[in-house]
Structure 1
Amino acid sequence: MRPRLLLASLSAVISSTALAGGGTMPRQEGMLDVNGAQIHYVSVGTGIPMLLLHGYPLSGELFARNRDALAAADYRVITIDHRGYGQSVAPASDAGSLKTYALDALAVMDQLNVPQAIIGGMSMGGPITFEMWRTAPGRFLGMILIDTLANPAGIVEQNIWKGMAQKASTFGPQSLAPELLKDMLTGDTRARRPADALFLTGIVSQASVAGDVAGATVLATRPDSIPTLKTITVPTLILEGLEDTVYPPEFSVKMQQNIAGSKLVIVPGAAHAAIYEKAGAMNAAIIAWAKSIR
């Protein structure tokens, strides 16, 4: 059985988060019936909606260090666990696909009464964001692309993801953590902040085997989104860890060159999970950029 928090059994939980100034920040957390799946979400703050999509094989808790900071800057930050990840549950009939992940995210927006949002995706969340744009561009106020790329997977990368799926199937989701942590965090962070590695390991271990296989398949077979880049007409921020070895900065530079008016920020001392590893710098970059979307 996958680890579950007691919150997963509740349809909705309303609480509040303390702010530095002593006030409170609206927080909503619960499960939504979405396209045959149970999707876990967290919504913090009020203001312009910002939907953030996690990468493989993580959960919305990847953004644990971003939600409150961004909400304090007057955004309503919404994170979800894709079906089969974190606390979300996928039906046996559809463990997940690129289209399903995109439709799930759009359905969550519908159920939370969010007509439009700044939509951002990290790693696998990037292809999902592109699929959402192709499906419903009118739902976007802006776009954030975090340590991701628009290129399809080459032969070597395809086989890496096939290997991840096979390992998860054979040894369980937790077995993927050692394969991934060396790329998610820099060596310096792993040595000096072992709690960061433990936190991400816990998230990786929450995924289901079916979710791991589905996500790996999505990454191995993702379409070429480079033509999509030229169609993006909303303000776009591209965030990249300088030491990302999964999707290195060259891919972000290429996206910036193909998305008119986009902004690229490369953060030193950060690897693939830069949004968590260097959350302070990432939050500052998002807030500075998003001021133009009012």
Structure 2
Amino acid sequence: MNGRSAFLLAGLTAALLGTALAGGTDTARQQEGFLDVNGARIHYVSVGQGTPMLLLHGYPLSGELFARNRAALAAAGYRVITIDHRGYGQSTAPAGDPGSLQTYAKDALAVLDQLGVPRAIVGGMSMGGPIAFEMYRQAPQRFIGLILMGTVANPASLVEQSLWKGMAQKAVTFGPQSLAPELLKDMLTGETRLNRPADAAFLTNIIKQASVAANVAGAQVLATRPDALPTLKTITVPTLILEGLEDTVYPTEFSLKMQQNIPGSTLVIIPGAAHAAIFEKAAAANRAIITWAKNLR
């Protein structure tokens, strides 16, 4: 971890624990609805006013992964937009196009278009990272900044490819809900699963909402994602990398490699958090994002 990363973790002061992080709903204007995008019907939530911040969820979750982030970030002066990728959460997809890396990226850009957002800070968690990289390849001019949360730039190894193919097969055979036990052991630390069962139940309910077709499509995206390391060297916008110290899906070594390849990027490692650090340790994640993004307008 570099000096700047240590500063972000150690220098989170009491001032940031005040109104900006409380996420008071009196100052946050919320919109929610559906947009017809590229043949799909995409559910979105927009909270707050100010610099747009689009947050992309991972597999096989929904925009509700960011339920603990929206209000706090909105209170700090951002318009926080979350979407459910096609087939996940409340979004639906046509049978002929359940999803692909290119389609997820085009969907997200089209949502920004329909909401009248020319540029945004774009954040991607897990599968949302490769989607954000694809968005950057397609339209780098749309980015104010980039947030990478528990994600990876490397292509999937042979072992990881087998894992995602197994997830897809299990969803087809036993239904989307069958994936929850497989995934929660990596999304949340053992301590959280033991002492905060409501957190596990919340994520389980999100996982259950995904369609079988979306589970298969998302698993295919993760198994076949391209090598994004060449893309990292082209990123010129400010970039924050958030990593849970106990992430076993994409451990800290992957985040360190991204930091080394994205010029000027900042790495924050969150103790006591696993793969879903943005949810499990939301207050720490919110502080890190607000500290990093305060000058991005």
Question: TM (normalized to structure 1)?
Answer: 0.93
Per-residue CA distance 1:23-82 (angstroms, 9 max, x = gap): 342100000000000000000000000000000000000000000000000000000000
Unaligned runs of 5+ in 2: 1-21
Higher RCO (CA < 8 A, seq sep 6+)? 2
> How much does 1:292 deviate?
2.0
Q: 2: distance between equivalents of 1:249 and 1:145?
A: 12
Corresponding position: 1:47 with 2:60:
no
Gaps of 5+ in 1: 1-18
CA deviation map 1:81-116 (0-9, x unaligned): 000100000000100000000000000000000000
Quote the residue 1:94 is aligned against.
Answer: 97
Distance 2:185 2:135 in 1: 30
Counterpart of 1:163 in structure 2 is: 166
Give the corresponding residue for 1:122: 125
Instruction: Give the RMSD, CA atoms, in angstroms.
Output: 0.9
1:169-222 C-alpha deviation (Å, 9 max, x unpaired): 000000000000000000000000000000000000000000000000000000
Q: Distance in 2 between matches of 1:239 and 1:70?
A: 15
Q: Structure 1: which amino acid aligns with 2:87?
A: G
- Residues 127-164 of structure 1, C-alpha deviation per residue, up to 9 Å, x if partnerless? 00000000000000000000001000010000000000
Pick the aligned partner of 2:184 from 165, 181, 186. Answer: 181
Q: Secondary structure at the match of 1:244?
A: coil
> Partner residue of 2:14?
none
Match of 2:84 in 1: 81
The percentage of counterpart residues that share the same residue type is 78
Which of 98, 112, 115 pairs up with 1:109? 112
Residue in 2 that maps onto 1:34: 37
Contact 2:245 2:271 (C-alpha < 8 Å) held by counterparts: yes
Answer yes or no: is the 8 Å Cα contact 2:32–2:46 preserved in 1: yes
- 1:230-269 deviation per Cα after TM superposition (whole angstroms, max 9, x unaligned): 0000000000000000000100000000000000000000
* Residues 1:271 and 1:20: Cα distance change in structure 2 (over 3 Å): closer
2:23 and 2:290 map into 1 onto residues whose CA distance is 17
Q: Secondary structure at the match of 2:29?
A: strand
Choose from 238, 241, 246 the match for 1:238: 241
Letter in 2 for 1:114: V
Match of 1:6 in 2: none
1:209 aligns with 2:183: no
| 1:22 Cα deviation after fit | 7.4
Cα distance in structure 2, aligned partners of 1:271 and 1:201: 16
Q: Distance in 2 between matches of 1:73 and 1:271?
A: 25
Determine helix, strand or coil for the equivalent of 1:25: coil
Task: Decide which of 255, 277, 280 is 1:277's aligned counterpart.
Answer: 280
Equivalenced residues, count: 276
> Partner residue of 2:137?
134
Change (3 A) 1:164 1:279: same
Give every structure 1 segment of 4 or more consecutive aligned residues whose post-TM-superposition deviation is greater than 3 Å.
Answer: 19-22
Q: Give distance in 2, aligned partners of 1:243 and 1:225.
A: 23
TM-score, normalised with respect to structure 2: 0.92
Match of 1:266 in 2: 269
Aligned to 2:157: 154
